[in-house]
């Protein structure tokens, strides 16, 4: 309309005032029509600016992360820089040898040109400025090249891994500097402990009881003649660094199927490997490689051990699964054959240990069976490492009814006395702080279990050192068990405190 009014005015077809009025009206109409379009244009421009700023910010964050990753290669303990430096020296020597082999003149020529170049730079710029700039450029190129080369290696070797190589090396370096820990026990208690400890050290040895004769382990033991794999499987899964799916597969238990119901995949896998390799120890080593186990799992003995328990009423009960259902308090336990031999790897681990842990776990069926191996007891007694007993949270019906912490300690000392050892081995005790009343505790009470009571003053008066901590964790759980993180944190605090004092 603006163009039409202007055309009519220029052609003289209408009076000037009318043309101007029409022109203004047309301009206002055009402005009102284009107003939404201008708003939309401004909004689109704002979105574009925001996208540009966001993109720029993302690039800045990525650059900072790459820079931080490159700088982390300078941190000590990665065992990479020394070999990179050695490679650099080797490259320089190789080039020097090639130049000497050809002729010395190229070396003289290169050095001469280098001095001319440096002299020319310092003529225009002071040395105090040129030197640091060149130095920083060189270090930057070195770090950038090193970071990019290792990224390429990681993508080729482990393309599905999310971890950055330098971060993985830092974690590995930290874990390799962790204490050499030996954890003795069995059952779910030992698995929970190991699951937490692997955050602090990769030098962990789990010495596991092999006296289980119930459930899937008992069936495989009777039918295939293998050692019970259940507790070993739990420890391997706890120390595994592999993908969660593979660990879940190892722990998967069949719920149906003729001959399969009740068996776990890991038990069948270990039993098959034992039949192939000829012994459980080799089968564990092979499984450890598959699961990328952080540390090692070692059976207490290779012997086919059968537990027996003497009860307070004079009855003798045989079999680990029967001991837990005893109708009278347990006085002492033993095994057939007597004095089973220890595995050398277990003895070596105890000899080199910086921390020895006993428990948590079923007192008579998971902990004390390991102390029926005389060589293991002798190695523990000989070790200078701190020895910590971790007491259970709750009593276990049929095994530890009515026992407090002192009662658990008396049972351990009685077991050692039966082997002729009268000296106290475990002076340090880690116990749970008093548990607050809860519906979960009442449920356990209805099943015959009670919180393990601790008379701290009585234990202190007898020369024991008692450490109390919240071992259950702060999160609500459907069962009363040790929380892996809380338990391992309490153990490491004890170890650090012990190291400071000694």
CATH code where residue 427 lies: 3.40.50.10680
Asked whether the beta carbons of 360 and 190 are under 8 A apart, the reply is: yes
Asked whether the beta carbons of 130 and 122 are under 8 A apart, the reply is: yes
Q: State which H helix or E strand residue 390 sits in.
A: strand 387-390
Q: What is the pLDDT of residues 385-417, one digit of tens each?
A: 999 999 999 999 989 999 999 999 999 999 888
- Weakest mean pLDDT among 182-191, 297-306, 429-438: 429-438
Who has greater pLDDT, 205 or 259? 205
Same domain for 455 and 348, yes or no, is yes
Percent of the chain with pLDDT over 70: 78
Residue after which a domain boundary falls, among 72, 97, 116: 72
Same domain for 194 and 112, yes or no, is no
Asked whether the beta carbons of 70 and 162 are under 8 A apart, the reply is: no
Same domain for 395 and 470, yes or no, is yes
* 487 closest CA partner among 368, 387, 391, 380: 391
- Domain interval for residue 400: 178-209+340-501
Same domain for 165 and 183, yes or no, is no
Res 18: pLDDT = 42
Residue 384, pLDDT > 80, answer: yes
Half-sphere exposure of residue 468: CA atoms within 13 angstroms, side-chain side: 13
Angle between helices 230-239 and 244-251 (to 10 degrees): 170
Res 469: pLDDT = 94
Query: Residue 160 domain-assigned?
Result: yes
Query: Residue 321 domain-assigned?
Result: no
Query: Residue 182 domain-assigned?
Result: yes
Res 461: pLDDT = 92
Structure tokens at 339: 């004095």
Same domain for 241 and 289, yes or no, is yes
Query: Residue 324 domain-assigned?
Result: no
Res 171: pLDDT = 78
- Name the CA radius of gyration of the chain, rounded: 37
Q: How many CB atoms lie within 10 A of CB 65?
A: 11
* 499 closest CA partner among 359, 380, 385: 385
164 class by beta-carbon count within 10 Å (0-12 exposed, 13-18 middle, 19+ buried): middle
Percent of the chain with pLDDT over 90: 48
Backbone angles phi, psi at 429, to 5 degrees: -130, 130
Q: What is the pLDDT of residues 307-330, one digit of tens each?
A: 999 999 999 999 998 998 888 999
Integer CA distances (angstroms), 228 to 89, 280, 399, in order:
55, 9, 21
Q: What is the pLDDT of residues 359-377, one digit of tens each?
A: 899 999 999 999 999 999 9
Residue with tokens 């954890």, as numbered in its chain: 183
Residue after which a domain boundary falls, among 55, 72, 89: 72
Same domain for 225 and 203, yes or no, is no
Res 345: pLDDT = 95
Please measure the distance between the N-terminal and C-terminal CA atoms of the chain and give it in whole angstroms.
Answer: 97
SS3 category, 359: coil
* 372 closest CA partner among 207, 216, 151, 190: 207
Query: Residue 450 domain-assigned?
Result: yes
pLDDT class of 495 with cuts at 50, 70, 90: very high
Instruction: Give the chain's domain count.
Output: 4
Question: How far apart (Å, rounded) are the C-alpha atoms in residues 351 and 345?
Answer: 10
Who has greater pLDDT, 144 or 79? 144
Q: How many CB atoms lie within 10 A of CB 351?
A: 13
SS3 category, 477: coil
Asked whether the beta carbons of 172 and 341 are under 8 A apart, the reply is: no
Residue 37, pLDDT > 70, answer: no
* 192 closest CA partner among 501, 493, 483, 498: 483
Residues with Cβ within 8 Å of residue 479, at least 6 apart in sequence: 440
Residues with Cβ within 8 Å of residue 211, at least 6 apart in sequence: 228, 305, 306, 307, 320, 335, 365, 369
Same domain for 137 and 255, yes or no, is no
Asked whether the beta carbons of 23 and 5 are under 8 A apart, the reply is: yes
Integer CA distances (angstroms), 104 to 90, 95, 99, 108, in order:
19, 12, 6, 7
Structure tokens at 244: 């969660």
Q: What is the pLDDT of residues 328-357, one digit of tens each?
A: 999 999 999 999 999 999 999 999 999 999
Same domain for 135 and 228, yes or no, is no
Res 419: pLDDT = 82
Query: Residue 310 domain-assigned?
Result: no
Q: What is the pLDDT of residues 457-484, one digit of tens each?
A: 999 999 999 999 999 876 766 778 899 9
Query: Residue 312 domain-assigned?
Result: no
| Mean pLDDT of the residues in the chain | 82
Q: What is the pLDDT of residues 276-306, one digit of tens each?
A: 998 888 999 999 999 999 999 999 999 999 9
Same domain for 362 and 497, yes or no, is yes
Residue after which a domain boundary falls, among 72, 89, 120: 72
Q: DSSP assignment of 36-81, as one string?
A: HHHHHHHHHHHHHHHHHHHHHHHHHHHHHHHHHHHHHTTSTTSS-H
Question: How far apart (Å, rounded) are the C-alpha atoms in residues 235 and 249?
Answer: 14
Same domain for 349 and 463, yes or no, is yes
Residue ranges of the alpha helices (H) in 127-164? 127-157
Query: Residue 38 domain-assigned?
Result: yes
Residue 256, pLDDT > 70, answer: yes
Query: Global pTM?
Result: 0.75
Same domain for 273 and 354, yes or no, is no
Question: How far apart (Å, rounded) are the C-alpha atoms in residues 143 and 84?
Answer: 11
Question: How far apart (Å, rounded) are the C-alpha atoms in residues 234 and 226?
Answer: 17
Same domain for 395 and 478, yes or no, is yes
Q: DSSP assignment of 237-293, as one string?
A: HHHB-S-HHHHHHHH-B--SSTTTTT-BHHHHHHHHHHHHHSSHHHHHHHHHHHHTB
Res 363: pLDDT = 95
């Amino acid at each position: 309309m603006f163009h039409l009014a202007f055309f009519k005015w220029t052609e003289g077809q209408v009076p000037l005032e009318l043309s101007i009025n029409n022109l203004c009206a047309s301009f206002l109409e055009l402005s009102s029509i284009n107003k939404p379009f201008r708003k939309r244009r401004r909004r689109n421009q704002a979105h574009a600016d925001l996208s540009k700023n966001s993109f720029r910010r993302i690039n800045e964050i990525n650059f900072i992360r790459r820079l931080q990753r490159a700088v982390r290669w300078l941190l000590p303990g990665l065992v990479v820089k020394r070999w990179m430096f050695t490679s650099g020296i080797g490259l320089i020597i190789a080039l020097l040898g090639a130049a000497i082999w050809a002729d010395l003149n190229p070396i003289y020529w290169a050095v001469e040109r280098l001095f001319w170049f440096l002299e020319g730079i310092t003529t225009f710029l002071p040395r105090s400025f040129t030197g640091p700039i060149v130095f920083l450029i060189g270090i930057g190129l070195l770090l950038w090249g090193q970071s990019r080369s290792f990224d390429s290696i990681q993508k080729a070797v482990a393309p599905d891994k999310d971890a950055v190589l330098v971060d993985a090396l830092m974690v590995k370096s930290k874990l390799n500097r962790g204490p050499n820990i030996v954890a003795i026990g069995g059952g779910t208690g030992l698995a929970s402990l190991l699951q937490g400890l692997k955050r602090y050290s990769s030098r962990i040895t789990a010495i596991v009881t092999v006296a289980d004769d119930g459930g899937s382990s008992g069936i495989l033991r009777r039918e295939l003649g293998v050692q019970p794999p259940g507790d070993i499987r739990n420890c391997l899964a706890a120390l595994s660094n592999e993908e969660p799916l593979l660990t879940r597969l190892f722990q998967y238990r069949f719920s149906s199927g003729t001959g399969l119901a009740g068996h776990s995949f890991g038990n069948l896998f270990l039993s098959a490997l034992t039949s192939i390799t000829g012994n459980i120890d080799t089968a564990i080593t092979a499984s450890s490689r598959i699961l990328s186990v952080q540390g090692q799992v070692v059976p207490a003995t290779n012997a086919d051990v059968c537990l027996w328990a003497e009860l307070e009423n004079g009855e003798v009960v045989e079999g680990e699964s029967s001991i837990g259902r005893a109708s009278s308090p347990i006085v002492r336990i033993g095994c057939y054959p007597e004095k089973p031999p220890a595995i050398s790897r277990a003895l070596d681990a105890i000899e080199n240990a910086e921390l020895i842990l006993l428990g948590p776990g079923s007192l008579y069926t998971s902990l004390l069976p390991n102390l029926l191996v005389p060589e293991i007891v002798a190695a523990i007694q000989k070790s200078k490492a701190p020895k910590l007993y971790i007491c259970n949270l709750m009593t276990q019906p049929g095994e530890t009814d009515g026992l407090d912490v002192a009662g658990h300690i008396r049972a351990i000392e009685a077991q050692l006395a039966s082997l002729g050892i009268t000296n106290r081995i475990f002076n340090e005790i880690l116990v749970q702080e008093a548990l607050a009343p809860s519906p979960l505790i009442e449920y356990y009470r209805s099943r015959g279990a009670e919180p393990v009571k601790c008379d701290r003053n009585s234990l202190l008066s007898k020369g024991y050192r008692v450490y109390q901590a919240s071992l259950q964790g702060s999160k609500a759980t459907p069962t009363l068990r040790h929380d892996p993180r809380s338990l391992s944190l309490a153990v490491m605090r004890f170890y650090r405190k012990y190291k400071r004092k000694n």
